[in-house]
Amino acid sequence: MQKIKLSRPNERTPLVREIYTADPSAHVFNGKIYIYPSHDFAHDCPDDDNGDQYIMQDYHVLSMDSLDSECIDNGLALSEDDVPWVKNQMWAPDCVCKNGRYYLVFPAKDYNGQFHIGVAVSDSPVGPFKPQENFIKGSYSIDPAVLVDDDGHTYCYYGGLWGGQLEMWQSGSFDPNAHRPEGDEPALGPMFAEFNDEMDAFITEPKHLQILDENGEPLKAGDEDRRYFEGPWMHKFNGKYYLSYSTGTTHYLCYAEGEKPDGPFTYKGRIMEPVLGWTTHHSIVKIGDDWYLFYHDCELSGGVTHERCVKYTKLNIHEDGTIDTIIPYEFER
């Protein structure tokens, strides 16, 4: 395979090196690029399947004047100490601008060890953010990604398996021993709910989204190369809705296409082959006339799974919405 030639000096390199960052949700606000990442905490404790190694305690917002300029760490935007309901593990956030205010939407564990989704607000895209007193009623699990649709409706996509606890809520209440779907059982989709205008409540009952295969059948739990695991993102292209996500155990970024914000979605293919590290998590954003993928890997720490760094690369989206697969380390400058 011919290596692709990268034209931007900071493409596919760590955007900041002073802190470890992951799960980048990128947006353009007022012509400037803002990245809302997790802030990885460096430590020597062992990894486990529950994600206990991801001990994040706060959020920093990154910003760039353009894709070629320096990426700035704007310092502390929100700490776990400031949020009454949060005990620990502030994982992957997103941010939306509504009515001139910025809403940081984030998952964290409460004092019962359960993940929920909270919101904090600021007049500035870089914070500091003031948290709401409690988490969003009826929310659970991790990885919120928020789409403000063209008609102003605001949708939240969220959920993650294993340490993200999505399986544990299948009955509607928290069951740490709940059965994990496997084999030919239908895979669990990401969750979907609509926010109110004030961004302090869901106004629809959360529901699982369906991702279908080429025959219109729901993807199976055992189809680990294609089924949803965590890290949802939604972008619109030519009026269609594109749900992208991580397959977790097989480490791919994949996407599925739908006609409506709540699907159903049909699996389309891979966006990115595995990166260095266990997790893969991304966002997709249009900057100028082109589309970009923001993602993370563990290059900066030499492969430590919980010490990650955010990067970006150009994404090739065709007129029909199909996306070329990125091979993360096959390039030359």
Question: DSSP labels for 50-66?
Answer: T-TT----EEEEEEESS
Instruction: Indicate which single residue of 91, 103, 106, 252 sits in contact with ligand FUB (rule: CB under 6 A).
Output: 91
Using rule CB under 6 A, residue 38 touches ligand FUB: yes
Using rule CB under 6 A, residue 105 touches ligand FUB: no
User: What are the Cα distances from residue 132, in Å, to 91, 93, 129, 264?
Assistant: 17, 15, 10, 32
| Amino acid at residue number 181 | P
Contact between residue 236 and residue 243 where contact means Cβ atoms under 8 Å apart: no
**Catalytic residue flag (residue 205):** no
Using rule CB under 6 A, residue 139 touches ligand FUB: no
Closest distance of CB 115 from ligand FUB, Å: 9
| 220 Cα distance to chain centroid | 22
**Catalytic residue flag (residue 23):** yes
Residues 39-68 that bind ligand FUB (CB under 6 A): 54
Rounded Cα–Cα distance for residues 166 and 227 (Å): 14
Closest distance of CB 267 from ligand FUB, Å: 19
Using rule CB under 6 A, residue 281 touches ligand FUB: yes
Using rule CB under 6 A, residue 167 touches ligand FUB: no
- Lookup: tokens for 280: 């893969």
- CB-based contacts of 289: which residues, under 8 Å, 6+ apart? none
Residues 226-245 that bind ligand FUB (CB under 6 A): 230-231
Q: How many residues bind ligand FUB (CB under 6 A)?
A: 13
Instruction: Indicate which single residue of 143, 167, 299, 307 sits in contact with ligand FUB (rule: CB under 6 A).
Output: 143
- CB-based contacts of 163: which residues, under 8 Å, 6+ apart? 49, 50, 51, 52, 54
Closest distance of CB 259 from ligand FUB, Å: 26
Catalytic residue among 143, 167, 230, 297: 230
Contact between residue 307 and residue 300 where contact means Cβ atoms under 8 Å apart: yes
Using rule CB under 6 A, residue 279 touches ligand FUB: yes
Interface contacts to ligand FUB, rule CB under 6 A: 22-23, 38, 54, 91-92, 142-143, 160, 230-231, 279, 281
Catalytically active residues, by annotation: 23, 230
